[in-house]
Structure 1
């Protein structure tokens, strides 16, 4: 089950976050006090792996507390949509329980209210009470024509044919008076299709009649399906719902832990903020080593005048404690090594009187050093690791990780390593993390980046749209993205990457996905990493090319072969690219077609569903049915939008690219070979 989008309402500083799309790794950026943490906290409380209790005094917006505190039984604070994939066992279980189709069950909406209760539904559930009569008319007409074309050789079969044709003609007449059909009307039609006349033993007509009767049975079942929601379905849903693991820097472990304070704080229920975060991390630490802090304290106390047998008992207990600590130290050292590649660390957990201490050494510094004397980055990662490991009980799947200002104390290079770590971890666990560090912004997947800012009323708002140049509040939040793109340019210059300038963000999404697919399938092996850099339109190409070019090498430029792209290619060849015209790739030159844009080299099935969403108000609209490969795809979309008075949103091409990206990555080797060959031509030209 995968989280596809969420919305926070009436939670702390958030009145309405707006809907935010989620991917395997989602990054929320914004300045301090923008409210990023509150978005994560609301998500955590949907289904926390541990803790995450709803606290009205802390969680309700202060300005509206008096108005909202008595509405908790109907007041949601978190709303979510989850995708249930076809390989998810839950989907088959729900199909078996409900007898509904997978298309009705593959999207789940679930929200949680302030009273702790949940509301859920399946938005694609078909609640039809009637069907279009025309669909059944077409089936009956087709079968009637088929039967009329069958010759009969026996009297029994001729009699049977006459009875069947007569029944189907009556059904036709009945359907001609209807636009819609109810379950009762379908039952009448089924009675009309029940023929008492016997067929011959080798009848060719009888199987056709049975097909019609089966169709009628299926349609009756469709209209009489019970609602999806029931107690058994809810049990399946809540058991399969991913748990959320939340971690912030406030929970970082100290190297020296004073046990009396630990014992006191673990009992308290009135602590919050930093103290609560520390207590939570300490709780999981002691769960990990399987020792009670009170027991550790008692074993460390000096006891006077003990009898010989009591001394022996105490000695055995202390020996057992040492064995447990050594075992926990070895386990932590071994398992942590699989997570963090910044060093080969050895942990030593020790109890000393009233203190519990964590010592660290590594290959470069073999001497044992207190944890607090090592980097804050190591402290952060160790603490997060323990939280995740213990709260998910070693179940790495079906948990969504929420990280607040993840790795902010890490060195920039370590932050970039952390970003790569997120990508590997997200293969089993979705990650949503907040940051204002440009080193933790994935410039290859800008569509995964969301912004948080404070609106004019002082409320936190989240947005999927990074193009916010006209709003100073959003400009401040988006600064980390601009900085990250600048750093990406630096990487290109310093690390010898192969830069390719594309016209816009949508082109970057498409070609990054294509690059990943071609490399992973083994079809393409780049001599250098290829970096696609959006220019914000053809007019920005020359400026970016000048910035990132060396004295001898200009970057490749990939342009649509529409009017503006073709015109700009000619301009570049006359000026900046006069000595290297081969580095300007026009899509039309590769496809031998005019007016080709990047969308025209993308398989239609990667785009059609996203296109259909813009036309959902048009009855029975299916873009694949009307698509003409001889006309540019974008032209067709905009012509149909004008025809049906549909207003396409600003930046809709970027949204199409985002939707297509995941489908491109799932393409098989034999899917749309013609277009995959075009992709290879482009990448081979860049590579050589």
Structure 2
């Protein structure tokens, strides 16, 4: 069976998730306490691998518990499953009603009972006592109206009298409530038929039993449907739920584990350890007894044989786990060795790169997690690889981001054999190539858990992992892309792109098409970004203004082989103005017109009209305007607004640009192309 949709209701902070479509691999993204774990745990108990049922006292919504828990048998988890062709044939052979059935809907309630709906819908009514009473009354009426063949009146009268008395008696004995059994109806039919000894009697009495035969047929159809229901429940996939609390310890004190398992079986952490012993096929009580015989020093041959058997079991289980984990993991070849030293059970690990054995807890958190999860998966699913759905709650939480991305690719591979749903709030475990697989879990306005299906929620906290994943994708493509020109801010990007358009439209050389312009959000971010680009061994140039550069930036650039004339460009080199920004490459009049449209009350006449040579020590024109805006209007100069308008006007009317501006940008682009 393939799970196509699920629904969770009446569970902890969940009122109703609605129907949530799922695929082979589905990611549930949400912040802490949004309800991801509750969804997974409720769904897992639809057919749990660990055998845990629902506990209304602990899991029914607390605010509704006192008033509602006893009102009805509340539904919790539902799943819509698509049947395989083999399952379709099997179920059609079990129940004639299911010939066209292609999918089923299964719901489990707090009491553990199941309800099943078939698609297309099928159904048959259960035969009730009133149904049987009605059939008997129909038979009585039919008998009263019987007419005997000529010469047979007296004989038929005696038959009618006996049958009417018998049926009245049977009708009176039927309880008002209860189940009608097929055997009871069969007895009635046989009693009626036994009154007929001659052919004419059979001809007269056979129609009397027809209503009862219909009830028998109805019961048989109902029994077939019930058998189909049992088939569906027996063939439901096992749901294997796993979270961080189930990670195994490699050094297990056997007596302590046994005592804890008996006194507090629900203690987190016991589950994987218990699966380990089950996988090894070792009896815990036998282990405890053998622990008192250190390395079988007792000469008792029975004890020695038991210890030898235990050693063989450990060796066999170690080899089996090594082989299975290698096939499943598909990465570095890992070897496990199970060992018992006195009262302690230990797991030792080695690999193909380093044959030295190391305790499991000394290996990476990722290996510990996946070993523990696979162990639980193997044991609780009974090796039923094709019949399990894996619910992983926050897997890879302690892994490095690159390891998290590898884990996601690993999930992709094994999802071809088992459906996998995992929850996360890490952007590194979100596959942006398959956003259709992402379901966002968030808290609704009523405080209950919601799951996005057809639209994203407005809650930014819930969307943040997706935004971060997108930013990571952009950053990765930026850093690993082609040639890079690093600039300080977004307005540099806008104006460079606009002027590139103008130069090309005039038949001049613009920026090389394979150069990407990357704004850093300020000169302070330039060093980290340039270092990352250097690490990716991508050719890059840096374009800076000469104003407000953080101390040390220019000093550190040469260590990255970026210096003026070799990867580093300053706007001041093209306008002979120290501290110049990109706006200084335009004529002041053209730039002032854009400023005036944004700040109509600004007295631009107060800005110095000195010649470029006289203004050599001054800051760029944009910074002068910023001072004027702050001084005269008491607000922050929104440089980006002016740059946006300037960019629009450049593209709308490229002919309005003067030749000096064109020449300055032409020289700038030539130099950028040369450096990169």
Q: Output the CA distance in 1 between the equivalents of 2:364 and 2:65.
A: 41
What residue in structure 2 maps to residue 280 of structure 1?
271
What residue in structure 2 maps to residue 125 of structure 1?
121
Q: Output the CA distance in 1 between the equivalents of 2:233 and 2:95.
A: 16
What residue in structure 2 maps to residue 93 of structure 1?
90
Give 1:307 shift. 7.5
- Counterparts of 1:154-553 in structure 2 under 5 Å? 230-268=225-263, 270-272=264-266, 275=267, 277-302=268-293, 308=299, 310=300, 312-468=301-457, 471=458, 474-494=459-479, 552-553=513-514
Radius of gyration: which is bigger? 2
CA contact (8 A) 1:21 1:464 kept: yes
**Given the alignment of the two structures, is residue 79 of structure 1 paired with residue 60 of structure 2, yes or no?**
no
CA contact (8 A) 2:298 2:304 kept: no
**Given the alignment of the two structures, is residue 66 of structure 1 paired with residue 63 of structure 2, yes or no?**
no
Aligned CA distance change for structure 1 residues 321 and 305 (closer, same or farther; 3 Å):
closer
Aligned CA distance change for structure 1 residues 100 and 300 (closer, same or farther; 3 Å):
closer
What residue in structure 2 maps to residue 146 of structure 1?
none
CA contact (8 A) 2:96 2:224 kept: no
Aligned CA distance change for structure 1 residues 117 and 334 (closer, same or farther; 3 Å):
same
Aligned CA distance change for structure 1 residues 327 and 66 (closer, same or farther; 3 Å):
same
Q: Which runs of 5+ in 2 are unaligned?
A: 125-219, 483-496, 502-510, 517-676
What residue in structure 1 maps to residue 36 of structure 2?
36
Task: Note the alpha carbon deviations across 1:220-244, whole angstroms, 9 max, x for none.
Answer: xxxxx97898212112211222111
Give 1:295 shift. 2.0
Aligned CA distance change for structure 1 residues 485 and 410 (closer, same or farther; 3 Å):
same
- More divergent stretch after superposition (412-421 vs 4-13): 412-421
Task: Note the alpha carbon deviations across 1:425-457, whole angstroms, 9 max, x for none.
Answer: 111211111111112112111011001111233
For the residue of structure 1 that corresponds to 2:47, the secondary structure is coil
Q: TM-score, normalised by structure 2?
A: 0.55
Q: CA RMSD in A?
A: 3.0
Q: Output the CA distance in 2 between the equivalents of 1:307 and 1:423.
A: 52
What residue in structure 1 maps to residue 150 of structure 2?
none
CA contact (8 A) 2:296 2:303 kept: no
Paired positions, count: 396
Give 1:305 shift. 13
Task: Note the alpha carbon deviations across 1:535-568, whole angstroms, 9 max, x for none.
Answer: xxxxxxx99xx9xxx963389xxxxxxxxxxxxx
Q: Output the CA distance in 2 between the equivalents of 1:307 and 1:347.
A: 29
Q: Which runs of 5+ in 1 are unaligned?
A: 129-224, 498-541, 556-688
Q: Output the CA distance in 2 between the equivalents of 1:120 and 1:388.
A: 27
2:110 counterpart (114, 126, 136): 114
What residue in structure 1 maps to residue 146 of structure 2?
none
CA contact (8 A) 2:98 2:122 kept: no
Task: Note the alpha carbon deviations across 1:23-73, whole angstroms, 9 max, x for none.
Answer: 111111101111100001111111112222221222111111112321352
CA contact (8 A) 2:94 2:225 kept: no
CA contact (8 A) 2:95 2:227 kept: no
What residue in structure 1 maps to residue 22 of structure 2?
22
CA contact (8 A) 2:254 2:344 kept: yes
Task: Note the alpha carbon deviations across 1:321-355, whole angstroms, 9 max, x for none.
Answer: 22221221111112111122442222121111111
Spell out structure 1 runs of 4+ moving beyond 3 A. Answer: 96-102, 225-229, 302-308, 490-497, 550-555
Aligned CA distance change for structure 1 residues 98 and 329 (closer, same or farther; 3 Å):
closer
CA contact (8 A) 1:121 1:229 kept: no
Aligned CA distance change for structure 1 residues 288 and 227 (closer, same or farther; 3 Å):
closer
What residue in structure 2 maps to residue 178 of structure 1?
none
